[in-house]
Structure formats: C-alpha cells, structure tokens
Structure 1
Amino acid sequence: MGKNVRTVNHRHLGRVLAGAAVAATATAVLIGVTLPDSASGGEGSGGGPQGSAAEQGQAARQLPGVVESPPAQGKTGKGRDPLTDAELKRARTLTLGQSFRESGEDVTGGKGPEQLSTDLAELTPDEVGAAAPPRRADVTYYDYSDDTYVTKTVDLGSGKVERTDTQRGVQPPPNRDEAREAARLLIADKLGQELKKDFKDATGKALTSPDQLTVTGFVYRTGVDGPGPAATRDCGKHRCVRLFTKVTDGGPWIDTRQLVIDLSARSVARLGS
C-alpha cells in the first residue's frame, strides 16, 4: 500500500512540475529575447572598433611576440541564411580574443568567459534589401570575473569586431553548463541533503553527480522574483538560478524550486528562510 501511494505521489509531482517547467521555459525564452535591449541603458561600454583595438593592444602587451592568425573562413551562408557551423566557430574565435580569454572567467572558475549564444546580427536600415548584405554575428558571454553580460558583434567577412556592449544586472537564461554546475554545487551543499534523500528513495542509489539528474535552470532575481532571504540579496547583480530537477532515464521529478544557487558566490540559499 505504501509503495503504491509513493508511486502515485511521484507521478502527481511529475505532472505538476512538468507543467510548471513548460510555462517557466516559455517565460525564460521571452526574458532572454527582451532583457538585453530593455536593460542596455547607459551601461554599455560602446567598445566598437576602438574597444577592439584596445583589447588587441592589451593582449600584445601581455604576451609580447604572440600573433594570432584569424580563423579560416570555411563554409559561409548567404543573405539571412542561418549561421553555418564554420561561421559559428569563426564568430566565437574572433570575439573571444587573447585578452578576453585571459581575463574572463567561466561558471566553473576556469579561464575565459562563459559563452551563452551566437546569433546572426540584425542588418542596419540602409543594408536591408541589399543584394549581398554583410553577415555579422552577435556573440554573448557572461563573465564571472566581474559579473558582466557581454555582447560582441563581429563582421564575419572582414573578421573585425565592430561593437562590444558590456552590461551589469542583465541575466539571460542559463545555459546547460551553468545548470549542471548549479546542480553540482547543490549536491555538495548541506541544503542538498533533501535532494539526495529523495533521490535515494526514488532510485535506491546515492546521488553523487549532476550526470544522474536532468536539470533545467531558470534565473532568480531578488526583487523581481520575490523579496528573498538576506542570502539572496545580491541575486540579479550575481548570477543566481533555481532548478527543475528530474531523475534521469524517465525517473520522477524532485522539487528543488525553493533552493537558489548563486553561481557567482558559489553558495546555496533556501527561499522562505
């Protein structure tokens, strides 16, 4: 009898959280599209060509005698075709650069900023309708060294980084690596004990790695998503996420929505505490 009740409860929880996850995913996509434009304000660095030259100069001073050749063109698209695999790779290589790679920090604390997205950039009004408009890419990063959201626009033909926009307090949806790192931090934290207990009850095995879970991350910002406890007061300035957590291979959902993982501070807090 007890086993049947637990199975029903797991299935019910799975349905509830699955519905919430779909709704939250749609919200996260909208936030990811609208936030950068609405939050740009006066905080962007407006690096443009001068910013790019400064970065190259700094890299040269840091590593004298090291000259990086631009990546090969590879297969290119035409007009407004989606970016090809070769263009995606070229855009990321060109926008990362030696200086940014050395100074930036990713979600695990490694060198180089966390790369979030690469998209075909919009045309300027005078380029619309041109027979062969330039192909540019917008590449976005989150730099954990100073909690900044960085967008770099590169001309894929010339290889020139035309614009660099740096913003604070802008939090697009986390990528897969960020969600995985959040799960790893949660498992290692004392507030992850309930997650590990529920996992053991569901599978009979100990939870030791994020690879045992399917996780989806959603941004948490104090003041926007609720007042939150004192431990989350920097969320919004910091990169904070909540997780929808599911046992892999068709297992049940485990409710971790009350836990906030601050990826910048590498800490975990509970809402309502």
Structure 2
Amino acid sequence: MAPGVVERAPAEGAKGKGGDPLTDDEIKRAERIALTRPQFAAGEDVEGRKRPQRLTVDLAEPDPDHLDDPHAPRRADVTFYDYKDDALVTRTVDLETGKVERTATQHGVQPPLVPDENAEAARLLIADPLGAGLKADYKDATGKDLTSPGQLMLTSIVYRASPGAQPAVLDRCGQHRCVRLFPKVPNGSWIDSRSFVIDLSARKVGRLS
C-alpha cells in the first residue's frame, strides 16, 4: 500500500483578530481545510457532483476560557450539505494550525438554502411538466421563453412533510432537502409557484393540493 500523503495547509492570507468577522481569505482557507480529500470524494452536491454542497462559513464561538481573550485562536465553522447521505456536516477548523478540530453530522436538519440550491430547484421545475404554468406566466410577463434559472430572481423556504398534507412523492421532505420557490421576474412581478415543492435529494417535483 502506498504511504499516505499529508497535504500542506493552505496559505493564511489576510487575517482578522479576536471577534472580527472572517476575512475573505479566512473563509477560503477554512473551506479548503474543511473539505478534505476523503470527504470531497465521498460527498455529493446539489448538482450531483463529487463534493458536498457548501452552505456557510462562520466565525466559531470562542471556548469559555477564551471569551475575553483578544488573542484567542481564530476558528471557523464550515457547513456543508451532503446530498449523497442527506446529512448536514459542520466542521470546526483552527485557522492558525490548519487542522479540523471536530466534525458534527446531523440528519433531518434543514438550514436555509443557498443560491446554487435555489437555481437547481428552479432548473428542475422548469424542466418538469409541472413547470408549464411557471413558464406560461413568465412568457406573459416578458414575451420571452423561460429556459434557465438565470432569468429569474429566486428566494425560497425549506419544505417539511406533514402526515397526509402532500402527495407521496414529497413524503420524505425534511429527511430530504426540499424547497418551495418564490420566483420573480427581474424588475417585474412575482410568479406564484407556492403550490410546487422540489425535492432536491430525489430530484423530483410535487404539487400540493
């Protein structure tokens, strides 16, 4: 068996101090440290690529014994959603040492969606027969055909299944990552698509009654 390879920690770049917000360089460094090669190979993002979906990078809460220490270690919580296992993964990294301090994995936890996920949800809805009404409303509003998410402004909320409240195709929402979209024509009107739910994990669209 070939010997393992230890990768050098990414360059530090611009650094903040104490409780200052993470700098852009720190955010990039934290993400690279958190996304180790084994996790990169095992995870899956919203488009099915071999990497977990990056959600947020936030300054980690200081340890109790460092609350008033202006020189406390700078740490970051990097959060991913792994569509392969439907798991929320949070890795806490020490930006000074370049090491992952701990990893927390949760199932059934659904934080707000990020723009890449909203775009993929819109792409699935546009391609689905249930998206015909969305495309018709867009054509009425603009005179153009709706063919891609980039033609819309998108906001969303997470959808969780309730017993008997949705078609069977959406029964796993909550365990799966599901979304209700609120699309808007740029510089124009909102398009009502509240009755549709996109299951990003199963890549299916359902309609609420």
TM-score when normalising by structure 1: 0.74
| CA deviation vs aligned residue, 1:6-63 (integer Å, no higher than 9, x gap) | xxxxxxxxxxxxxxxxxxxxxxxxxxxxxxxxxxxxxxxxxxxxxxxxxxxxxxx8x8
Tell me if 1:267 matches 2:204.
yes
* Percentage of pairs with the same residue: 61
Question: In the alignment, which residue of structure 2 is the partner of 1:243?
Answer: 181
Deviation at 1:201, TM superposition (A): 1.1
In structure 1, C-alpha distance between the alignment counterparts of 2:4 and 2:199, rounded to whole Å: 40
Larger helix percent: 1
In structure 1, C-alpha distance between the alignment counterparts of 2:109 and 2:71, rounded to whole Å: 34
How many residue pairs match? The answer is 209
| CA deviation vs aligned residue, 1:53-105 (integer Å, no higher than 9, x gap) | xxxxxxxx8x8665422101111111101101111011000000111111110
Larger strand percent: 2
Question: In the alignment, which residue of structure 2 is the partner of 1:102?
Answer: 41
What is the letter of the counterpart of residue 83 of structure 1?
L
1:1-273 paired onto structure 2 within 5 Å = 66-223=5-162, 227-248=165-186, 250-272=187-209
TM-score when normalising by structure 2: 0.96
What is the letter of the counterpart of residue 263 of structure 1?
L
Counterparts in 2 of 1:108 and 1:64: CA distance versus 1, 3 Å: farther
Larger Rg: 1
Aligned residues: CA RMSD? 1.5
In structure 1, C-alpha distance between the alignment counterparts of 2:3 and 2:177, rounded to whole Å: 34
Runs of 4+ in 1 over 4 A off after TM superposition: 63-67
In structure 1, C-alpha distance between the alignment counterparts of 2:106 and 2:194, rounded to whole Å: 28
- The one of the two structures with greater contact order (alpha-carbon pairs below 8 A, sep at least 6) is 1
Give ranges in structure 2 of 5+ residues lacking alignment: none
